[in-house]
Amino acid sequence: MTSSKHLMELPRKILIGDDVLAEIGLFVKSLDSGAAQVAVITGETVMEKAGKQCKQSLAESGLKSKWHVVYDSSIDTVNRLYEKIRKDKPDFVVGFGGGRSVDVAKMAAHRLDRPFLSVPTSASHDGISSPFVSVRGTEKPYSIKANTPIGVLADINLLAQAPPRLLAGGCGDLVAKITAVKDWELARDENGEYFGSYAANLAYMSAKIILDESEILKRKDKFSVRTIVEALISSGVAACIAGSSRPCSGAEHLFSHALEYVAGQDCGLHGERVGLGTILMAKLHGLNWQRISGALKKMGAPIRAKDIGLTEDQVVKALVKAQSLRPERYTILSKIKMDEKTALSLAKSVNVL
């Protein structure tokens, strides 16, 4: 096994609880006492629902805020936003919203070399606390590294108001850690790749809670929301510790990215696609795919391709294409070569088709 030298950047503070959005001003000040100007990147719906409270809290702490509404997470949006924000010379960047807003803000903060606060409004993905962003329109069809959020503020009341589908998507992104860790172990054993046991165990633990507690979590009450958010934050921290997305992203994520290629960018949520990918890759790894599928079903996440409008042809093509998107990342798909016949047989064997 090769040794690895990497820098660990972890969130400095995480504030989680009911109605903590009212404390965002004080929280920013606790992270950066010299901050005066804040750039807030958000979505239209979040701006209407909670923008006033957020703005008021920032103002009460003596922080001037300039707000920027984004509608997608494309590289064009990031570029335009960067040029816009750069002129204001903010001391601090806040990503306030769903995955799109947090990713765009993270990327903008990285380019501006400014500290970044992640304020998620849905528990739909593990980018809440990790340095990785999924930006469309770049040369790389997978997540790229930016900066780790200096802080995370998770308001459970606000998160609980998000559509249940987003929470189910978050569960799909969590169970993905099961096959991601297996792929990482495979890369260690067969390719001599660095493997971080602690990071792998932390990511796996975040996934296992969905398998073990799905009967309770399916209620989607505030306890469930908090548990899922904490698990997503922990898995993001696992990526920080590993210095790469290895503990969180394997062949199931490559399958998800390939689906965007063959079916377009509106083929379900990120977590929904990787959930399906996890069922498929679990079978290839010889894991209990039925348990994963059962837990996702309880949480209301899709377990069949047609649940998110995918055709048989799209699933087969995505499975065949997946590994070629990132050939240097060794996964189960590096070992088991996919052709159309094998892909179709696999997807049918786990009832994804």
Q: Tens of pLDDT along 16-52?
A: 999 999 999 999 999 999 999 999 999 999 999 999 9
Mean pLDDT of 238-246: 94
How many distinct structural domains can be found in the chain? 2
Among candidate residues 160, 187, 212, the one where a domain is terminated: 160
Among candidate residues 160, 189, 212, the one where a domain is terminated: 160
Backbone φ and ψ for 92, nearest 5 degrees, come out as -155, 145
At residue 75, the pLDDT reads: 85
Bridge-based pairing of strands 151-155 and 13-17 is parallel
4 within some domain = no
Q: What integer best gives the mean pLDDT of the chain? A: 94
7 within some domain = no
Instruction: Give residue for tokens 């069922």.
Output: 279
CATH of the domain at 66: 3.40.50.1970
At residue 22, the pLDDT reads: 97
At residue 74, the pLDDT reads: 84
At residue 99, the pLDDT reads: 87
Mean pLDDT of 167-191: 97
Task: Name which of 109, 29, 112 is nearest 63 in CA terms.
Answer: 29
Task: Please report which helix (H) or strand (E) contains residue 78, including its range.
Answer: helix 75-88
Residue type at position 18? D
1 within some domain = no
24 within some domain = yes
238 within some domain = yes
Task: Name which of 343, 305, 176, 190 is nearest 250 in CA terms.
Answer: 176
Both 18 and 153 in one domain: the answer is: yes
Among candidate residues 133, 160, 187, the one where a domain is terminated: 160
Both 19 and 151 in one domain: the answer is: yes
Both 188 and 286 in one domain: the answer is: yes
Both 109 and 174 in one domain: the answer is: no
Both 144 and 237 in one domain: the answer is: no
**Taking 90 as the threshold, does the pLDDT of residue 266 lie above it?**
no
Q: What is the DSSP letter of 136?
A: B
C-alpha–C-alpha distance, residues 74 and 104, integer Å:
8
Mean pLDDT of 125-141: 80
Paired residues of 118 in beta bridges:
95, 152
Mean pLDDT of 269-289: 97
Neighbours of 283 (CB within 10 A): 21
At residue 142, the pLDDT reads: 61
Listed in sequence order, the residues at least 6 apart from 11 whose beta carbon sits closer than 8 Å to its beta carbon are 118, 129, 148, 149, 150, 151, 152, 233, 237, 240
Both 111 and 183 in one domain: the answer is: no
At residue 141, the pLDDT reads: 60
Neighbours of 327 (CB within 10 A): 9
Mark out the alpha helices in 113-221 (DSSP H runs).
156-160, 164-191, 197-217
Both 55 and 83 in one domain: the answer is: yes
62, 26 contact by CB (below 8 A): no
Angle at 44 between CA 39 and CA 49, to 5 degrees: 95
35, 92 contact by CB (below 8 A): yes
5 within some domain = no
Band of the pLDDT at 139, cuts 50, 70, 90? low
Task: Please report which helix (H) or strand (E) contains residue 229, including its range.
Answer: helix 222-242
Both 209 and 335 in one domain: the answer is: yes
* Structural domain containing residue 149: 13-160
Residue type at position 106? K
**Taking 90 as the threshold, does the pLDDT of residue 181 lie above it?**
yes
Mark out the alpha helices in 243-308 (DSSP H runs).
251-263, 270-285, 289-298
Both 221 and 255 in one domain: the answer is: yes
**Taking 90 as the threshold, does the pLDDT of residue 134 lie above it?**
no
Listed in sequence order, the residues at least 6 apart from 205 whose beta carbon sits closer than 8 Å to its beta carbon are 234
Both 82 and 224 in one domain: the answer is: no
Both 38 and 123 in one domain: the answer is: yes
Backbone φ and ψ for 66, nearest 5 degrees, come out as -115, 130
3 within some domain = no
Both 138 and 76 in one domain: the answer is: yes
**Taking 60 as the threshold, does the pLDDT of residue 3 lie above it?**
no
